[in-house]
Structure 1
Amino acid sequence: MFKGFSTHLKRHRVKHLAFISLIMLVILVKVVLIDVVYISKQYEKKRIITPWGEKIKSGNLSVDYSLEQTLIDIENLGLNTVNVPVQIDIPSLTANTATLNIESKKKAIQLIKKLRYQGINVILEPYPYISNGELYETQLDPQDKNEWFRNWKEEILHPIIRDIAKPYKVYALCIGSNFDKFEKEYALWIDVANFVRENYRGRITYKTNWWYTAEWNTEKDGLHDTYTAKLNNPLLAEVDFISVAAYFELTDQETNTVESLVNSLYSTQIHSRHQNVYEELKNLSSEWNKPVFFGELGFPKRNKAAVHPWDPEPSAIPNELEQANGFQAYKEVFEKESWNLGFSVFAIGKKDEFKNYYPSHQSIRVINSWYK
């Protein structure tokens, strides 16, 4: 009797446990579906669709960004994308190897998890941090290019793809940024692009640095060579969109009206170069049938911001309006161009008295109004 009763209890417990397990599975599936739907709806909210197609409205993070300030900036600027850097430590301008900064990688993953839940896209960038950030990647010139490219693929891009880009399904991966000194290593760069394609299904881009041309100079004098090389760079056939760090020198004036800056984008005033920045960017897009994205668009909050936008302190005189006028001019010239994919504000995520590129209140209003 007791044996039969014990058997009955065991069967009852098994059925009870099976029923509970089924209920828990149903709840888990519902939670996952709700989460997926929520993320999908959040993404739909953040997409920016214009009569000229979908646009990227992004911000570049400084390497010392904070998660809290980043989320505030996304909201204030109305962004749908964030350019997330992973710090790559490089000891010198001639170094052949680089090292992925583990703490920066952990921080990027922590942020990306939050961004995914809010439906914010991510452009992931291995950010060259040379000699503790004291030197610029535009001057990097490794002695052994073959070794540098091997290291960049295997020790930098591979773990970034494996541990961040693939598992968190980032929108795009930037395979290189502003490497002026060896951008012409076309075959090696194409090998990098092929390597990334084999390991990652998302979008890829390469960020090329700004350039200048002058109507009074001949090609023999060299000023046209940089742009011609960019225009004919076969690597651009391998990317999904072309990124440009848009620090074009526009005027000779310490302060400028928006109208003057708009005119300068069609014919630069500085040194009477009369460079047509608009036309050159449009031709770059047309040449490769790829959209052009301003991978960095920034002006320091200083006088002369449009003279040397690449210089964080072109003048000792603060001028928040001059920065805002720069953003407004780019907005008026490029906002409605179908070949322009959008822009990324340089730089957000950290706000203090040393961050000369952080957007002023006037600039925030301009950036927030873009694509509305």
Structure 2
Amino acid sequence: MARYLTCFLVLILCSCSMNTAQHSKINGVSFVASRDSISEKHLKPVVDLHANYAAIMPFGFIKNLEHPELIYNTDRQWFGETLMGVSQYIDALERQNIQIMLKPQIWVWRGEYTGHIKMPTELAWKELEETYSNFILEYAKLAQEKHVALFCIGTELEQFIAHRPEYWQTLIKLIRELYKGKLTYAANWDEYKRTPFWSELDFIGIDAYFPISDEKTPSVEDCVIGWQPHKKLLKELSETYDKSILFTEFGYRSMDYTGKEPWVSDYEITSLNLIAQENATEALFETFWDENWFAGGFVWKWFHNYEERGGETDNQFTPQNKPAETVIKSFYDIKK
């Protein structure tokens, strides 16, 4: 009888453990690089948010969409965008028990969209591949040295991937040789269906700027309804590849019509709507955070100088010092 009772207790404990694992989420912030090193003071608001992950985003720069040379880790960049700065950020965040997604990204001069990067000649493609490999592999090596939990191999590079699929397959293998943690790629919301290498990665990463409402001030219910067609496709994709969906970026601007074209970052837009941002943010959590096939995500975006960012006159993406921050905090707290 005692033996059967022991087996029963083991089954119960295993079941509880599995349920806990199913509801454990990546509750992340996209931590913006700055000119300076960071300290515990800068990270207290991240801890207070109940975040358990931060995306660190060093940038490499190219002159235009047809320019193959990628410049990175230079004296002209901000400290947080360099190898030294990234290393310091990782150490500081991990001291606060916050895990890291290292997410090296390309910035095209004047902010042109990276998904349109496309070389005019084979020679230029080869040069881009060489410089991108140098960039990514150097940070993959750092990720391994720092035992980073998650590494993102690229962000919103649809044309680069579509025209050079063999290169990306090779690159993933090279990264795996250097880095032993989990891999993802950050596909744009309108790109992910065509990304050819999900089977080679650990998470299906998506920058989740899906259109979900045409309302000026959408309600939570409006946004939840707007999510349903996208949610269905994401669940099917997760089942197809047997991999969890990770929102490598998510968030909304505090402006009118924030759910209509959530990817828009035009500074000429002057409308201010904190309720729209709050409602859209809550709807995203209500739609996804209880789903076992959903891994979590990284809110866009979070600055180190908390007291100076966001607030009730800011219509940009950051939720800092806005009602949306309270929404995020409440979900991050109960879903850790």
Match of 1:180 in 2: 158
Inter-partner Cα distance in structure 2 for 1:364 and 1:165: 29
Equivalent pair of 2:300/2:318 in contact (CA under 8 Å): yes
- SS for the counterpart of 1:166 is helix
Cα displacement (A) at 1:65: 7.3
Inter-partner Cα distance in structure 2 for 1:310 and 1:78: 26
Cα displacement (A) at 1:204: 1.0
Match of 2:277 in 1: 323
Match of 1:72 in 2: 44
Q: What is the alpha-carbon root mean square deviation over aligned residues?
A: 2.1
Cα displacement (A) at 1:250: 1.5
Equivalent pair of 1:70/1:348 in contact (CA under 8 Å): no
Structure 2 counterparts to residues 345-364 of structure 1, below 5 A? 345-350=299-304, 351=309, 356-359=316-319, 360-364=321-325
Match of 1:190 in 2: 169
C-alpha change, 1:362 and 1:354, in structure 2 (3 Å) is closer
User: Which one-letter code corresponds to 2:316 in the other structure?
Assistant: N
Inter-partner Cα distance in structure 2 for 1:108 and 1:190: 26
Match of 2:130 in 1: 150
Equivalent pair of 2:205/2:248 in contact (CA under 8 Å): yes
Length-normalised TM-score, structure 2:
0.82
Deviations along 1:304-332, whole A, 9 cap, x unmatched? 11011101248421011111111100111
Equivalent pair of 1:84/1:108 in contact (CA under 8 Å): yes
Match of 1:295 in 2: 248
Asked if 1:285 is matched to 2:241, the reply is no
Cα displacement (A) at 1:142: 2.9
User: Which one-letter code corresponds to 1:261 in the other structure?
Assistant: C
Asked if 1:242 is matched to 2:204, the reply is yes
Match of 1:139 in 2: 116
Q: Which segment drifts farther, 87-96 or 189-198?
A: 87-96
User: Which one-letter code corresponds to 1:300 in the other structure?
Assistant: R
Aligned length: 295
Cα displacement (A) at 1:227: 6.0
User: Which one-letter code corresponds to 1:368 in the other structure?
Assistant: K
Q: Which residue of the other structure, out of 213, 220, 235, is the alignment partner of 1:251? A: 213
Deviations along 1:122-172, whole A, 9 cap, x unmatched? 1001121211x532212222333333222211x20222123x212211111
Asked if 1:58 is matched to 2:28, the reply is yes
Structure 2 runs not aligned, ≥5 long: 1-18
Q: Which has the larger radius of gyration?
A: 1
Inter-partner Cα distance in structure 2 for 1:309 and 1:70: 28
Cα displacement (A) at 1:283: 1.4
Cα displacement (A) at 1:201: 0.7
Cα displacement (A) at 1:78: 1.1
Detail structure 1 runs of 4+ shifted over 4 Å in the superposition. Answer: 352-355
Match of 1:112 in 2: 90
Inter-partner Cα distance in structure 1 for 2:20 and 2:255: 32
Match of 2:68 in 1: 96
Equivalent pair of 1:304/1:315 in contact (CA under 8 Å): no
Match of 1:130 in 2: 108
Equivalent pair of 2:52/2:99 in contact (CA under 8 Å): yes
Structure 1 runs not aligned, ≥5 long: 1-48, 212-225, 267-275
Q: Which residue of the other structure, out of 39, 48, 55, is the alignment partner of 1:83? A: 55
Inter-partner Cα distance in structure 2 for 1:302 and 1:316: 8
Inter-partner Cα distance in structure 2 for 1:183 and 1:210: 15
Match of 2:139 in 1: 160
User: Which one-letter code corresponds to 2:211 in the other structure?
Assistant: E
Inter-partner Cα distance in structure 1 for 2:64 and 2:315: 24
Cα displacement (A) at 1:354: 6.6
User: Which one-letter code corresponds to 2:111 in the other structure?
Assistant: E
C-alpha change, 1:75 and 1:65, in structure 2 (3 Å) is farther
Q: Which residue of the other structure, out of 343, 360, 364, is the alignment partner of 2:297? A: 343
- SS for the counterpart of 2:186 is strand
Cα displacement (A) at 1:93: 1.0
Equivalent pair of 1:76/1:364 in contact (CA under 8 Å): no
Length-normalised TM-score, structure 1:
0.74
C-alpha change, 1:277 and 1:111, in structure 2 (3 Å) is same
Asked if 1:262 is matched to 2:231, the reply is no
Deviations along 1:281-304, whole A, 9 cap, x unmatched? 111111111101000001011011
